[in-house]
Structure 1
Amino acid sequence: MQTAALLNPIETVDPEPRLLIVDDDPGIRELTAGFLAGHGYVVDVAEDAVAMRAALARNRYALIVLDVMMPGEDGLSVLRSLDRTTAPPVIILSVIGEDVDRIVGLEMGADDYLGKPANPRELLARIRSVLRRNRERPAPVEMLSAARQYLRFAGWRLDPLARQLYDPEDVIIHLSDGEFRLLLALVEHPRRVLTRDFLLDHSRGPNSENFDRAIDVQISRLRRKLQRPDRRGGDDLVRTVRNEGYMFTADVERR
């Protein structure tokens, strides 16, 4: 693991986000790291899964850019091993045309995906978008009043400020950033047919690739998380409207 750029230690400003680039190609690693460092990021690089885990043990990262095709343990295996409740957001890179890598990566909790070879400027835009979404956190607890409102449906409770979902037994159900944004879009537009393009824009941002299968994957993951024994299941709450999109079928109350 090498450090591609570091802030001047005498500076007193807050450090820029630290990124980790994981790719077995040394040329791509260094070119990508150099480009991102030139845009103000602190960038470390790792050549494989072993070096990546060593880097994660030493430093806290704002985001990981993870190549799928690596010798030994591949990127999808690495992604699967991460604790998505504590790990930084991940952008996966997959060979252009390998949609299966993108689908599986999304199922495992990746926050975004990009075809490889990646245009450095597009990668930079994706990184900024993911980091911006990750910064959209709730206000400090002391600023939240007792009158704070939840979105309630079929016994569930969604907290838009804390970005948390509570099941009917009041257990927190972990959602990735994309899953939260997708569920919020559905819950805020109940009993309306929402197109895949609409949901893609609201869950992954307007600059995302028009990749319909990505929404289908996210919907499938949401349905599994909304499935509870002996209660209305996720398939009932999110209905597929053939050739049109999806509809959230439950009544929603804001209180």
Structure 2
Amino acid sequence: MMQKILIVDDEAELRDVLRETLERENYIVSEAATAEEMRQVFASDNFDLVLLDLMLPDEDGLALTRYLKERSDVGVIILTGKGESVDLIIGLEMGADDYVAKPYNRRELLARIKSVIRRSSGNKEKNGKNTDVKTLVNFSGWELDLPHHKLAAPDGSDVPLTMAEFQLLRILLETPGQPVSRDHLSKQIFNKELRENSRNIDALVRRLRQKLEIDENKTQMIKSVRGSGYTILTTLD
């Protein structure tokens, strides 16, 4: 089945170039120039990915990122000309799965797109073909459903995760109690090496921590290890 991508950017020339690039790779492409158009187009179809510009004329991309993630599990890649800006970090904190800086490199953009779409569908397809694959990870009363990308709290309530948050938790749970480097996390989650002074992984960890700290004492399950990265302090049930 051909995958569907929605481009949201007010620059018509950029949209044209992106559409041509993506259609050449056999993606089905839709476009929107404003936030209002995006809402209308998004409501009319099921998309695998949204390429979202941070700077739109009627509403900023940060609010739209939140809008998309509150209503669906669609992958979101931010298009930004600001590099490692504060807005970009906030966008990742709101749930964006990745970002590409303008002017973008065609090969890098396609790699990012394939990575985000693969993360959102690959595990489900693989586990659906093999009933022996472990599908649930239980830790400290929590339950992570691998094929469905769902997290259940100890009280049984669902805790929504973005795809990047899910990947972070899954990776840390593969070696509980052992530190995982920030560079390794960046390569596994964002499909790229960690850039100097990048806060992407730190922002992602902060978001996941907030979702795991539901008790009144705010017990911190994910710990930073100086010079090593992050580790999750739990045992598998």
Instruction: Give the secondary structure class of the aligned counterpart of 2:74.
Output: coil
Q: Say whether the 8 Å CA contact 1:84–1:176 is kept in structure 2.
A: no
The answer to whether structure 1 residue 210 and structure 2 residue 185 are counterparts is no
User: Residue 71 of structure 1: CA displacement?
Assistant: 1.5
User: Residue 101 of structure 1: CA displacement?
Assistant: 2.2
Instruction: Give the secondary structure class of the aligned counterpart of 1:43.
Output: strand
1:47 to 5, 18, 33: 33
1:163 to 128, 138, 149: 149
What do you get for the CA RMSD once the two structures are aligned?
2.3
Alignment match, 2:22: 36
Alignment of 1:181-196 (within 5 A): 181-196=167-182
User: Residue 95 of structure 1: CA displacement?
Assistant: 1.1
User: Residue 79 of structure 1: CA displacement?
Assistant: 1.3
Q: Say whether the 8 Å CA contact 2:135–2:145 is kept in structure 1.
A: yes
Q: Whole-Å Cα distance in 1 between the matches of residues 37 and 214 of structure 2?
A: 39
Q: Say whether the 8 Å CA contact 2:73–2:162 is kept in structure 1.
A: no
Q: Whole-Å Cα distance in 1 between the matches of residues 135 and 33 of structure 2?
A: 46
Instruction: Give the secondary structure class of the aligned counterpart of 2:115.
Output: helix
Q: Whole-Å Cα distance in 1 between the matches of residues 200 and 110 of structure 2?
A: 21
Q: Percent of pairs identical after alignment?
A: 37
The structure-2 alpha-carbon separation of the partners of 1:215 and 1:152, relative to structure 1 and needing over 3 Å to count, comes to same
User: Residue 185 of structure 1: CA displacement?
Assistant: 0.9
Q: CA offsets per residue over residues 188-246 of structure 1, 9 Å max, x none?
A: 111112110112122223x365364111011101110001224662x2x1111123211
The answer to whether structure 1 residue 246 and structure 2 residue 230 are counterparts is yes
Alignment match, 2:205: 219
Q: Say whether the 8 Å CA contact 1:167–1:173 is kept in structure 2.
A: yes
5+ residue gaps, structure 2, are none
Which aligned segments of 4 or more residues in structure 1 are displaced greater than 4 angstroms?
A: 139-145
5+ residue gaps, structure 1, are 1-13
Q: Whole-Å Cα distance in 1 between the matches of residues 135 and 112 of structure 2?
A: 31
Q: Whole-Å Cα distance in 1 between the matches of residues 141 and 217 of structure 2?
A: 9
Instruction: Give the secondary structure class of the aligned counterpart of 1:50.
Output: helix
The answer to whether structure 1 residue 107 and structure 2 residue 93 are counterparts is yes
The structure-2 alpha-carbon separation of the partners of 1:160 and 1:37, relative to structure 1 and needing over 3 Å to count, comes to same
Instruction: Give the secondary structure class of the aligned counterpart of 2:124.
Output: coil
The answer to whether structure 1 residue 64 and structure 2 residue 50 are counterparts is yes
The structure-2 alpha-carbon separation of the partners of 1:20 and 1:161, relative to structure 1 and needing over 3 Å to count, comes to closer
- Which has the larger displacement, 107-116 or 196-205? 196-205
Q: CA offsets per residue over residues 87-138 of structure 1, 9 Å max, x none?
A: 5211001114342122111111111111112122221111111111111243
Q: TM-score, normalised by structure 2?
A: 0.89
The structure-2 alpha-carbon separation of the partners of 1:208 and 1:134, relative to structure 1 and needing over 3 Å to count, comes to farther
Q: Whole-Å Cα distance in 1 between the matches of residues 131 and 228 of structure 2?
A: 38
Q: Whole-Å Cα distance in 1 between the matches of residues 134 and 183 of structure 2?
A: 31
- Which has the larger displacement, 78-87 or 165-174? 78-87
The structure-2 alpha-carbon separation of the partners of 1:138 and 1:41, relative to structure 1 and needing over 3 Å to count, comes to closer
Aligned length: 235
Instruction: Give the secondary structure class of the aligned counterpart of 1:61.
Output: coil
Q: TM-score, normalised by structure 1?
A: 0.83
User: Residue 143 of structure 1: CA displacement?
Assistant: 6.8
The one-letter code of the counterpart of 1:242 is R
The one-letter code of the counterpart of 2:223 is R
Q: CA offsets per residue over residues 5-61 of structure 1, 9 Å max, x none?
A: xxxxxxxxx4x1121111111111111111111121111111111111111122221
| Greater C-alpha radius of gyration | 1
Instruction: Give the secondary structure class of the aligned counterpart of 1:105.
Output: helix
Alignment match, 1:4: none
Alignment of 1:72-221 (within 5 A): 72-84=58-70, 86-138=72-124, 144=131, 150-205=136-191, 207=192, 210=195, 212-221=198-207
